[in-house]
Amino acid sequence: MEAQDYKQNLPQDSIEPVEAATPAPKTVDSDSKPAAESVLPSLLGAPEELPADGGPAWYVIHCYSGYENKVRHNLEQRIETMGMKDKIFDIVIPTQEEIEVRDGKRRSVERYIFPGYVLVNMALSEESWYVVRNTPGVTGFVGMGNNPTPLRPEEVNQIIKRMEAESPTVKVAFKVGERVRIIDGPFNDFRGNVAELDMERTKVRVMVNFFGRETPVELDFLQVEKA
């Protein structure tokens, strides 16, 4: 089947990129279109030309935020049933570990680095493009011009480095200048404003009113909560 035959099966509207947003819980608005960081090229429409058989490279496909794992599962099934293991080699959803501190509790969560995007290592051809593009949940390829564009090696290395980071990122519910309440230690139940955040040491410096004077107090993230 020629490439132009495949295009007849595709929606004619192109995919427009939007600004990056903070990853949210996996609830999906069917009208929303999440965006990735600047490492990814802009989203465009269906390809005009495809190579007869390209070499292995990493490509990026777009789906609605919250459907990343479903798309990977669907694509894995299609690769198996359509005998495409020699053309489509790997599927990766870029994630990284994050420590979330909220209400005096610390928990480890897995966050998507690029919500709404899935990486596929494949040899691009008309057949492999058709299998990926028509996978349920996939809304398009990321590319330059009208063709899927592979990630550069430095972009792939950057993503892998973030995924393999030894120290997880830390997310807190408060920021500099906000009012917090101390919930543990000798200043328990004191309130003050956040003066400084030390993300590496997971420490916060809070200015509290002590005997009529503003006094800086250094605390662990677990010792304070947003007032």
Question: 32-41 pLDDT, tens per residue?
Answer: 333 333 344 4
Q: Give the model confidence (pLDDT) of 129-184 as tens digits.
A: 999 999 999 999 998 766 899 999 999 999 988 888 766 777 888 889 999 999 88
8 A C-beta contact, residue 171 and residue 99: yes
Q: What integer pLDDT is reported at residue 161 of this predicted model?
A: 86
Pick the CATH number of 173-226 from 2.30.30.30, 1.10.287.130, 2.60.120.10, 3.40.50.300: 2.30.30.30
CATH number of 3-166: 3.30.70.940
Distance, C-alpha 180 to centroid of its chain: 29
DSSP state at residue 42: P
Give the residue range(s) of CATH 2.30.30.30 domains in the chain.
Answer: 173-226
Which stretches does DSSP call E strand in 153-190?
169-172, 179-182
Give the residue range(s) of CATH 3.30.70.940 domains in the chain.
Answer: 3-166
Q: Give the model confidence (pLDDT) of 70-106 as tens digits.
A: 999 999 999 999 999 999 999 999 998 888 777 767 7
CA distance 118 to 129: 14
Q: What integer pLDDT is reported at residue 97 of this predicted model?
A: 83
CA distance 123 to 150: 10
CA distance 169 to 139: 30
8 A C-beta contact, residue 120 and residue 55: no
Give backbone dihedrals phi and psi of 35, rounded to 5 degrees, phi first: -125, 160
Model-level pTM? Answer: 0.59
Closest-CA residue to 115 (of 68, 79, 74, 49): 68
